[in-house]
Amino acid sequence: MLFTICLLSLGAAKLTAQEIRANNPKEKKVLLLIAALPEVKERAAHIKRVSQGKNQITLMVSAEPELSIPYYQVNVNDNAPSYKNYYQFAVDPKTYEIFYYDAVKNRQYTLAEWRKIRKQQ
């Protein structure tokens, strides 16, 4: 069964909506952790603002933990019509530690490493 929840959060003094797509309570917890990241909240507010409220951020688990990749893989996209992928994260299912995945470099970073790189750009 697919749960779809609209999560309302306060960000930059504006109300933003994020769509959470989870298949079970553990996925929901993972997605709520990602939704709480400041970068995701900022992106959600930006998408809502530039689309004049027509688009929002969608968070979904693209892969569950398995032997070769033992993390939940999470995509942060905007919704139709573009479905542009803004961020990819990996979440440890045991500790719930969040990592940023850079698909271009095929490299995973801790959030601290990723934020440091972002500041340097």
pLDDT value for 55: 85
pLDDT value for 3: 35
pLDDT value for 39: 96
pLDDT value for 5: 35
Cα–Cα distance for residue pair 94/3, rounded to 1 Å: 22
Cα–Cα distance for residue pair 58/108, rounded to 1 Å: 21
pTM: 0.81
pLDDT value for 80: 67
pLDDT value for 16: 42
pLDDT value for 64: 95
Average pLDDT taken over every residue of the chain: 83
Share in percent of the chain as helix, strand, coil (round to 5) = 30, 40, 30
Q: For the chain, which residues score pLDDT lower than 50? A: 1-16
